[in-house]
Structure 1
């Protein structure tokens, strides 16, 4: 039987972030287990870029967490010597849905209430400052930017050996034995005894949760990448912000060669092991229709890449961060509902605080695994 101080189940961005935080704050022996490999193609965090923004409707707590998280991203940049955050701004366009109009109004109120920079743009000013777009107006969150997800994952992976973190890949965790010291059992029959278990398995969380804990719904998300046929500089950060309209979104060219376009929603529930990973023609048609209407300069772009990723959605989209009230040696970090990457270093710190039995640096009462 293997033994370790802390066993981290799930090697996506959250598992790597908690390993990083624990390695910095302690001398505990750490082990990460991941069935498909660290930062693999199946995890929700694997892609070129992710959105960082303060605008999140009426969710004041999320905005406050984002403020703290960006500080930690900047610290990680200093530590790694790599650019991980590319300032771009975030533009919420006034589209056709009541949801979008409400999101703009609530985001403005939240950011203004926290003394964060925010602007409401009418159509004429929007056209003057961002001529690539066509809309009645919108909200600009100028402090937003693109997180270079692939680069961040790569840095974390590359440093595990230096941090003294052990890695076990290709093993599926099938059971937790909580009679006495926690034990993790894999499909091959391997058993690992540990002092603490941190569960960050994303869409695979349900199989390891006892009755009474918050469950997740694994969902399938589709994105495409569009490479402009002319003057790609007009679609890079500094000229072209992240944008959203009626739950569609776009990310400027950063870390890759195309503008990422997707739809942030809760579509069909899927089995994460059997999900179809090709993008539907209907989704491509919908993306191109939105681009043609709101970003017409991209309408004749070349589609250079498509991707399917998975979200682990909770019912109210609130994260799960906390210790199991029936076994404080089991700590959960899951249910990030497509909005977790920007919080990764903060989540890593919070999970590390729970492992080390320190008071969490922010309140976690609404994020409990029992609700």
Structure 2
């Protein structure tokens, strides 16, 4: 039941509660503190959460978005800020000498001898806004000459054309999250973490229906001027209205241990972030980092249909991530595992015998149009959401906080309009696309 209160004060500056300490939640907290607001962040796990999509060894930073000007423009600004964060991180985390942002560039390769529509669209749009000098179109032989690790891929026809964008690379995602948490701590953001103290049991509503806070599972009531849910793939399990807009989907990720004699060749000094005809295969990967080469598949992914926590009807299903520590939570379905390893060994035969260090699912929060949802929740005054990263949200970390802070502060902008609440083509029905199937349809590896 919703708790009722009729006399919630609205001090200035305001008090915000944020559910979720991932990349959206932490950056929102920092941006709101910079505006002198009081901020409390809740998360069911210590930050960075071990199963959060924000926490990993690396994430791509790119501005290659075809003709999507909104995302491209934001990505451009984010890259400039990542460079600033690179310098600042050395002061905030002086004992961690791992690079935060590695500008190793990005290769977008295709299996045909001419670039595909997506890749060609990226080249044309980036060139039209003045970035042509940063781009280099490459034939198969030129790709192999420039980056020798790709030589075998070009000879066996896996990569026959490509372009290289110097502006981009990868971020050490785990370090970035530790950096953000340290910044938030220093700025006075308060944190409640753990299954009891950090998990939301319900929202508090005053007499006119306005959301005025939340109750955690330990029974404690926390009051505020507004609540922001930025809980990633768990967002729709907390805010029912999101179930028509987003779906949690598990994306396969494999980490291969690279032999020491090959690590230099696959290092970011000699090898960029890469995509392998991504609109057809979904496959992309990174230079070696911490001794492993990570590669993944970007697609609709695997869903985990589960009775919705907010519904009394057990047939109302939404996709909720499988918990870490369970068979479905710690690995990927066997058919996809075999398919991805086969592709990697064709792409890089020198890694054919390299052992797999780890395989897991990264839980995306996919929207039907791959755009974020940063908005007030309709008919739920005082409740906001920032979610729907759709597998490409991390790169915007340095700029997304201000976008979210503007929305919860009622400040209009063209960027905010682009991420506003919108109707799904499926209407108000639950968004649960088939994708690669459900986890329970497949045996784990």
| TM-score in terms of structure 1 length | 0.91
Moved more, 208-217 or 335-344: 208-217
Q: CA contact under 8 A between 1:13 and 1:39: conserved in structure 2?
A: no
Q: CA contact under 8 A between 2:113 and 2:139: conserved in structure 1?
A: no
Which residue of 2 is the match for residue 368 of structure 1? Answer: 420
1:42-57 alignment, distance < 5 Å: 42-57=51-66
Q: 2:339 aligns with which of 276, 286, 289?
A: 286
d(CA) in 1 for partners of 2:66, 2:351:
27
Alpha-carbon distance change, 204 to 96 in structure 1, aligned in 2, over 3 angstroms: farther
* Unaligned runs of at least 5 residues, structure 2: 94-98, 305-319, 424-445
State the shift of 1:344 in Å: 1.6
Where 1:198 maps in the other structure, the secondary structure is strand
Which residue of 1 is the match for residue 68 of structure 2? Answer: 59
Q: 1:347 aligns with which of 369, 379, 400?
A: 400
Root-mean-square deviation over aligned CA pairs: 2.5
Which residue of 2 is the match for residue 185 of structure 1? Answer: 215
State the shift of 1:96 in Å: 6.4
Q: CA contact under 8 A between 1:214 and 1:369: conserved in structure 2?
A: no
Q: CA contact under 8 A between 1:44 and 1:310: conserved in structure 2?
A: yes
Question: Which structure: larger Rg?
Answer: 2
Q: 1:272 aligns with which of 321, 337, 340?
A: 321
State the shift of 1:289 in Å: 1.7
Which residue of 2 is the match for residue 122 of structure 1? Answer: 139
State the shift of 1:80 in Å: 2.4
d(CA) in 1 for partners of 2:47, 2:113:
39
Moved more, 169-178 or 1-10: 1-10
Q: Say if 2:187 is the partner of 1:163.
A: yes
State the shift of 1:38 in Å: 1.9
1:98-117 alignment, distance < 5 Å: 101-116=116-131, 117=134
Alpha-carbon distance change, 220 to 54 in structure 1, aligned in 2, over 3 angstroms: same
Where 2:395 maps in the other structure, the secondary structure is helix
Alpha-carbon distance change, 144 to 26 in structure 1, aligned in 2, over 3 angstroms: same
d(CA) in 2 for partners of 1:113, 1:300:
44
d(CA) in 1 for partners of 2:242, 2:108:
38
Which residue of 2 is the match for residue 20 of structure 1? Answer: 30
* Unaligned runs of at least 5 residues, structure 1: none
Q: CA contact under 8 A between 1:181 and 1:193: conserved in structure 2?
A: no
Q: CA contact under 8 A between 2:236 and 2:246: conserved in structure 1?
A: yes
Alpha-carbon distance change, 97 to 267 in structure 1, aligned in 2, over 3 angstroms: farther
d(CA) in 2 for partners of 1:293, 1:164:
51
State the shift of 1:127 in Å: 1.5
| TM-score in terms of structure 2 length | 0.77
Which residue of 1 is the match for residue 44 of structure 2? Answer: 35
d(CA) in 2 for partners of 1:213, 1:302:
39
Deviations 1:124-176 (A, max 9, x none): 21121112112211121211111110001111223333211111111321322
d(CA) in 1 for partners of 2:168, 2:294:
16
Deviations 1:22-65 (A, max 9, x none): 22x22222100011232211211110100111112332321111
Where 1:138 maps in the other structure, the secondary structure is strand
